[in-house]
Amino acid sequence: MRKKNQDKESSQRIMGQIDLTQKMLTDVWTKFRLFQKPANFDSRLAECERLLAGVKSQVGVLDIRSVEQDVVQSQLDQCMKLYKVLSEVKGEVETVIKTGRQIVQRQQTEQPKELDDRVTALKLLYNQLGSQVTESKLELEKSLKLSRKLRKELNGLTEWLAATDAELTRRSAVDGMPSDLEAEVAWAQSTHGETERRQPQLQAVVDLAEALKAVLRGHGGLVDDKVSLLRCNWIAVTSRAEEWLNLLLDYQRQMQKLDGEIKEVNEWIDGAEKKMDEMDSQGPNDAVLKVVLRAELELTRGKMEEVRALAQELMCTRGENCQAQVGPKVEQLNQRFDTIAERVVSFQDLRVLRNRKALAIAPQWYQYRRKSHDLLAWLDDIQRSVDQLPDPPEGERVKEIGSEFDKKKEEINEVQGLANQLSEAGAANLVEPRQLQLNTRWVEVEGKFIPFKRLCEYLTKLQALLRSVSETDFKLNSPEYWPAAYYNLPQQEHCLKVSPALVSI
C-alpha cells in the first residue's frame, strides 16, 4: 500500500514537471514568435495611419464652391498635393497591410484581432481617400476647363456688348437724325448682322453654364448670376441697337419718299418749261395751255402740298441735320414751282397783252423774269452766308459780302427799271407782285447783314483808336521825344484838337 502511494506521488511529480516544461516551452515559443515580428512594424503602421489621417482632414477643401479660375486652380493644386502623398505612400501602405496580415496569421502579436482591425481600417481608408482624391481631381480639372471656356466666352460677349453700347450711345447722341444717313444705316445693319452671328456664342455660354452647374452640384447659383447678368446686358444692348436701326430705316424711307416726290415735281417742271419754250417759239396754243398745262399745274400743286407737309414734319421732328438737308431742297423746289406756276398763269395774261398789240414788251418781260429770278436765288445764297458769320464777325468776310451787296444794287436798280417800263406798258399786274417779293426779300436780307457791317466798322475804328492811344502813350513816355515836342507848339496844338475828336469816336 505504501509502495503504491509512493508510485502515485512520483507519477504526479513527473506530470507536474511535464506541465511546467510544456508551459515553459509555450512561453518560449510565444516569445520566439513575437521576436519574429518586424521590429519597426508598429511605427510604420502608425506613420501610415498618421499620413492618411492628414489627407482625410484636407479632403474637405476639395469641394468645389467657386467658378473663379484662381480659386479652382488653387483647389486643384491642393488636390494634386494630396494625390502625390497618396501615390508616394501607396507602396508603404500595401507593405504594411501585407505584413500586418502575416503577423496576424502567424500570431506574432498579442492582440491579433486589434491589429487585424487596424490593418483593415487602414486599407479601407486608403481606398476611400484614393477614390475621393481621384474623383475630386477629375472634377476640378473639368471644372477648371469649363470655367476657362465660360470665362473666355463671357468676356468676349461682354466686351462686344460694352463696345457696341458705347458706340451706339455716341452715334445716337446727335440732335435728331445723323447727317450721313447712309453710313449710319450701314453701321446699324452691320451691328444687326453681328448680333445674329453672336447668337450661337450666347447659346454656348448657356450650355457651358449648365455643364459647369452639374459639376458644382449645389452651388449652381454662382453660374446663374453671371449668365443672368450677361442676358440682361444682351437684351438691353441688342434692343437699343434694333430700335436705332428701325428708327434709321423709317427715316430713310421718309427721306426716299420725299426725294421721290421732289423728283416727280422737278420732272414735271422740266417738261412744263420745255412746253412753254416751244409755245414761246411757235406761238400760243390755247387748247394745250388750258387743258394740259393748267390741269397739270393744279395736280402738281396738290403734290407740292404733300411735299411741303412731309418736309415740315421731317424738319420739326428729325433735328438740325434733317433741317439742313431738307430745307434747301424744298426751298429750291418752291422757287422753281412758283416760277413755273407764275409763267403758266402769266402766259395767258401775256397772250391778252399780245392781243392788245403789246407784243413788243415780251422780250422785256422774259428778261425781267430771268433777272428777278436770279436776284432772288442770290438773296437766298447770301442769306446763308450771313447766317454763317461768326460772332464777332471776320472783317474780310464782311467786306466781301458788303462788296457783293454793292454790286447787286446795280442789278436791282436795272430790274426796277425794267419793272417800271413793263408797268407803264400795261403789265403792272404781272410785274408788281414779283417786284414786291424781290424788294421785300432784299430789305429782309440786307437788314440781317447791316448789324454785322456796323459791328465790323465799329471794331475797325476801335482798333484805330487803340493804336492812336498806344502811339500817344509811347510818345508821352519817351524821354527822347519830349525836348523836340515841347518846343514844337504847332504840333502840340494839333494834338489837343485831334484828341477830343478821337474820344468822340
In CATH terms, are 37-149 and 159-247 the same topology? Answer: yes
Q: Which three cell numbers stand for residue 53?
A: 489621417
CATH architecture of the domain covering 37-149:
Up-down Bundle (1.20)
201-241 pLDDT, tens digit per residue, is 999 999 988 888 887 776 677 788 888 999 999 999 999 99
Q: Is the pLDDT of residue 337 over 80?
A: yes
Q: Is the peptide bond before 392 cis (omega within 30 degrees of 0)?
A: yes
Domain boundaries, the chain: 37-149, 159-247
More confident residue, 492 or 371: 371
pLDDT at 163 over 90: yes
Q: How many CA atoms within 13 Å lie on the side-chain side of 21?
A: 6
Is the confidence at residue 359, as pLDDT, over 70?
Answer: no
- pLDDT tens across 252-291, in order? 999 999 999 999 999 999 988 887 777 766 655 555 455 5
Burial status of residue 85 (CB atoms within 10 A of its CB: 0-12, 13-18, 19 or more): middle
Query: To 10 degrees, the CA torsion angle through 399, 405, 409, 415?
Result: 160
pLDDT tens, position by position, 302-319: 899 999 999 998 888 888
**Predicted confidence band at 479 (pLDDT cuts at 50, 70, 90)?**
low
- Range with the largest mean pLDDT of 29-33, 41-45, 106-110: 41-45
What CATH number is given for 159-247 in this structure? Answer: 1.20.58
Q: What is the mean pLDDT of residues 442-464?
A: 80
The DSSP element (H or E) to which 108 belongs, if any, is: none
By percentage, how much of the chain surpasses pLDDT 70?
78
Mean pLDDT is lowest, of 23-32, 156-165, 356-365, 428-437, for: 23-32
Q: Distance between CA 176 and CA 315 in Å, rounded?
A: 9
Average pLDDT, the chain: 79
